[in-house]
Amino acid sequence: MATSKKFEKIRLNTSPKPADLQKLNIGDIVYLDGVVYTGREGVYKKVVDDKCPLPDDVVKASAASFHCSPAAAPGDREGEYNLGAVTATASFRFTKWIDKFLEVSDAKLIIGKGGMAPEDYRNYFVPRGAIYLTTVGYGTGALLGRGVKKVRNVHWADELGLAQAIWVIEVENFGPFIVESNLAGESLFERENSKIAEGLPKIYEGTRPAVLKRFGETDDRSDELI
Amino acid sequence: MIPIETIQSTALTLMDKAAIEIPEDYLSGLQQAADIEDGDLSSFVLQAMLENYEAAKEDRRAMCGDTGCPRWYVKIANEAQIQGGPAALEEALRSATAEATNGVPLRPNRVHPLWRTDHNNNVGINAPEIEYAFEPEGQWIDLTTVHKGGLFGTDYRMLFPSDGIEGIKRFYLDSLVAFGKRGLSCQPAIIGIGLGGSKDTCMVLGKRAACLRTVGDRNPDPKIAELEEEFKELGNNIGMGAMGFVGKSMVIDCHIEVGYCHTGGMQMSVHAFCLSSRRACARIHQDGTVEYRTDPEWFTPYQRRETVEWQPAKNLKKSA
């Protein structure tokens, strides 16, 4: 490394107390201990749109929900799973469900890829005392896989398929993750984007817009796709 | 006659290698990027990725939990004969894909686009893709599997001759910046650019440029090779690094492939082959021997030929 700022590694329980979260700043490196459960489109749709409650053993055991589905397959014996790598899926697509999901799950840690829109943090995360952790890379699937001690349960696999099911996993030293949004609703990606935006006019010098335009096209490079 | 069992077992090994072992050329490219990266967070990310590749190999587990969409590139030499013919070959590749999904394991990513049906084995309608090319001499087949991520970092645009290099640069930067924010394209990546062809050819060429050429490889057209160097540099000067953090590692390498296009147009596609640039290849000879490698050697002079007739390689060498 040209520069190697040493990042402190913070261990965090998956059912954290408000005081544990209060200490975290955006850009902090976090490793998790406890129980994490996955949830992506199928789960969000079922829980929020179809008002189907999350299984009891999920909400009681964990306040850490992961936008993810692992590379895993059923093992030789019933209820056993062979789990390899674990990586998040992009979180921005859960915006329409996240408010209600935080309410019914009481999750305090939302883990995913790429964060959500800054207004999602301010509108939905902050009032509920939740923070957002982003995976690193992406993705450090093998490192995260090492942090999984056991697949405790898989819910709704028959209906949703393995990739969309709820995987309840026991984890230890599970990481790395980076704090993307803290209890105040600040966003690391937003901060980095604005720093980078300052240099963009210079790099675009000597280019020109396409002759054939597209509907809704803008040259505002502070815009985001999410 | 190439035995079908050998094709099947080689394909299974390739699935495993692609998912687990980062190719050496990408790894050394990333190490070089990590050496010069001075953004704190970007550096941290690159270091974590380097550790991740080690963990994957040590544990024999997939390097990324999103194991992408497995696909196959098959190159058939002119005199090769496959036991059971092309249909048996396709069945072997589909079967290896399904078996490896449960064996490695991979994530069963492939679902029906409308009904979201998941066979839990990465096989379905038109999946995995199997693409073919041929070489004029030899008695072998090359199998290459690529497990490319499927959601971000790729775009297409119809440009016109009057857009010129300035327009190409604009679309290139737009694609990198737009998908680079928050690291959606999982950069630093091997960027493939397709120029020309028709819309579908342009996408295919760009994807193959990203997935089937190795880091450090240059297009044989010296002016295109210069553009590749320039674009690599340009991408790394955006001020953005891994995960969209401040930094200077966006592009591990840039590859450009071209195809003759409509005289009025200049189609352009941009593709990002991510931090988990999963590709693995093998050559299977007529006698059943197998050689594994990570360079698909897809873009041979024959694949890039410009003329009606093909001049055998030995004649080309003489005139060079």
DSSP string, A136-160: STTT-HHHHHHTEEEEEEEESHHHH
In the predicted model, is pLDDT for residue A1 greater than 80?
no
Low-confidence residues of chain B: pLDDT under 70: 312-320
Q: Residue B319: what pLDDT? A: 44
Q: Residue B150: what pLDDT? A: 79
Q: Residue A139: what pLDDT? A: 86
Which is nearest to B67 in space by CA: A89, A171, A111? A89
Are A163 and B53 in contact (CB < 8 Å)?
A: no
Which is nearest to B61 in space by CA: B70, B69, B52? B52
Tell me B80's DSSP state: -
Q: Residue A226: what pLDDT? A: 87
CB of B188 closer than 8 Å to CB of A118:
no
Confidence of residue A45 (pLDDT cuts 50, 70, 90): very high
Q: Residue A6: what pLDDT? A: 78
Among all residues of chain A, which has the CA nearest to that of B100? A73
Q: Which residues of B touch A141 (CB under 8 A)?
A: 52, 56, 61-66, 276
CB-based contact, A207 to chain B, within 8 Å? yes
In the predicted model, is pLDDT for residue A172 greater than 50?
yes
Among all residues of chain A, which has the CA nearest to that of B173? A204
In the predicted model, is pLDDT for residue A98 greater than 50?
yes
User: Does the CA dihedral A165-A85-B148-B296 come out positive or negative?
Assistant: negative
Which is nearest to A169 in space by CA: A85, A52, A51? A85
Q: Indicate the helix (H) or strand (E) that contains B99.
A: helix B85-103
In the predicted model, is pLDDT for residue A4 greater than 80?
no
* Domain residue limits, chain A: 9-188
User: Would you tell me how many other CB atoms lie within 10 Å of the CB of residue A79?
Assistant: 10
CA distance B37 to B28: 14
Q: Are strands B69-77 and B130-135 parallel, antiparallel or unpaired?
A: parallel
CATH number for the domain whose boundaries are A9-188:
3.20.130.10
- Two structure tokens written together for B64: 């990324």
CB-based contact, A16 to chain B, within 8 Å? no
Are A200 and B62 in contact (CB < 8 Å)?
A: no
Q: Residue B318: what pLDDT? A: 46
CA distance A199 to B162: 27
Q: Using CB atoms, which residue from A3, A162, A206 is nearest to B166?
A: A206
β-strand partners of B132: B74
CB of A28 closer than 8 Å to CB of A178:
yes
B204 or A2, higher pLDDT: B204
Are B65 and A69 in contact (CB < 8 Å)?
A: yes
The alpha carbon of residue B49 is apart from the nearest alpha carbon of chain A, in Å, by 6
Mark A89-103 as b/e (b = at least 16 C-beta within 10 Å): bbbbbbeebbeebbe
In the predicted model, is pLDDT for residue A79 greater than 90?
no
The alpha carbon of residue A175 is apart from the nearest alpha carbon of chain B, in Å, by 10
Are A208 and B246 in contact (CB < 8 Å)?
A: no
In the predicted model, is pLDDT for residue A3 greater than 70?
no
CB of B239 closer than 8 Å to CB of A200:
yes
* Domain residue limits, chain B: 150-273
In the predicted model, is pLDDT for residue A169 greater than 90?
yes
User: Does the CA dihedral B5-B11-B13-B16 come out positive or negative?
Assistant: negative
CA distance B234 to B58: 36
Q: Are strands A131-135 and A109-112 parallel, antiparallel or unpaired?
A: parallel
Q: Give the pTM.
A: 0.94
- Two structure tokens written together for B250: 């966006």
Q: What's the CA angle centered on B202, arms B199 and B205, to 5 degrees?
A: 150
Tell me B247's DSSP state: S
User: Does the CA dihedral A162-A163-A164-A165 come out positive or negative?
Assistant: positive
Q: What are phi and psi of B86, to 5 degrees?
A: -60, -30
Q: What are phi and psi of A179, to 5 degrees?
A: -70, 110
| Coil/strand/helix, residue A22 | helix
Q: Residue A126: what pLDDT? A: 98
ipTM value, please give it. 0.93
Instruction: Give the type of residue at B82.
Output: I
Among all residues of chain B, which has the CA nearest to that of A137? B45
- Two structure tokens written together for B257: 């492939």
**Rounded to the nearest 10 degrees, what angle do helices B85-103 and B4-20 cross at?**
40
Confidence of residue A78 (pLDDT cuts 50, 70, 90): confident
Q: What are phi and psi of B88, to 5 degrees?
A: -65, -40
**Cβ within 8 Å of residue A216, ≥6 positions away:** none
- Two structure tokens written together for B272: 């990002």
Instruction: Give the type of residue at B76.
Output: I
CB-based contact, A68 to chain B, within 8 Å? yes
CB of A90 closer than 8 Å to CB of B184:
yes
User: Would you tell me how many other CB atoms lie within 10 Å of the CB of residue B26?
Assistant: 25
- Two structure tokens written together for B153: 């970092």
In the predicted model, is pLDDT for residue A2 greater than 60?
no
> Each residue of A104-132: pLDDT tens digit?
999 999 999 999 999 999 999 999 999 99
Which is nearest to B15 in space by CA: B74, B70, B90? B70
User: Does the CA dihedral B136-B141-B142-B144 come out positive or negative?
Assistant: positive
Instruction: Give the type of residue at A175.
Output: G
| Coil/strand/helix, residue B86 | helix
The alpha carbon of residue B280 is apart from the nearest alpha carbon of chain A, in Å, by 19
Cβ-Cβ pairs closer than 8 A, A with B, add up to: 226
Confidence of residue A69 (pLDDT cuts 50, 70, 90): confident
β-strand partners of B246: B240
Name the percent of chain A in helix, strand, coil, to the closest 5.
30, 25, 40
Which spans in chain A are helix H?
Answer: 18-22, 41-44, 56-61, 95-105, 118-120, 141-146, 157-160, 188-197, 200-203
